[in-house]
Amino acid sequence: MTDNRKKGSFHETIAIEYLKKKGHRIIARNELNKFGEIDIISVSPDGKLVFTEVKYRKSAKRGYPLEAVTPEKQRRISRASAYYLNSHREYLNHQIRYDCIGIIGDEIKHIENAFYYVG
């Protein structure tokens, strides 16, 4: 496992604990399919299926973490989520939401409805 992958996994764990404290039920982590990877899939307290992208930066010197969730990244996450829903039909009736969690140093910023499905 690369050093960056270890850092990513560590900060995804922080994001998962943050979401759990907010009442989310975690369904999957690092869900990989032919369209891309979804960092965290959860069900929110209000019953929405939430696909969350997690980005970490040690500092803002090279930009803020959420700036890295580009339109192309949003498109890959959207396609990966559609594939996930097609293969996990038990969630088809759920409303869905795309969130982003940015971690910079020790600060967590959670943006609900960060973007909408991009086909």
Question: Which CATH number is 58's domain given?
Answer: 3.40.1350.10
Which pLDDT does position 7 carry in this prediction? 64
Q: Is residue 68 part of a domain?
A: yes
Residue 42: pLDDT over 80: yes
Confidence of residue 21 (pLDDT cuts 50, 70, 90): very high
Confidence of residue 8 (pLDDT cuts 50, 70, 90): low
Q: Are 23 and 64 in contact (CB under 8 A)?
A: no
Q: Is residue 119 part of a domain?
A: no
Q: Is residue 100 part of a domain?
A: yes
Residue 4: pLDDT over 70: no
d(CA 60, CA 63): 5
Q: Is residue 16 part of a domain?
A: yes
pTM of the entire predicted model: 0.91
Total domain count for the chain?
A: 1
- Rg from Cα positions in the chain: 14
Which residues constitute the domain of residue 55? 3-114
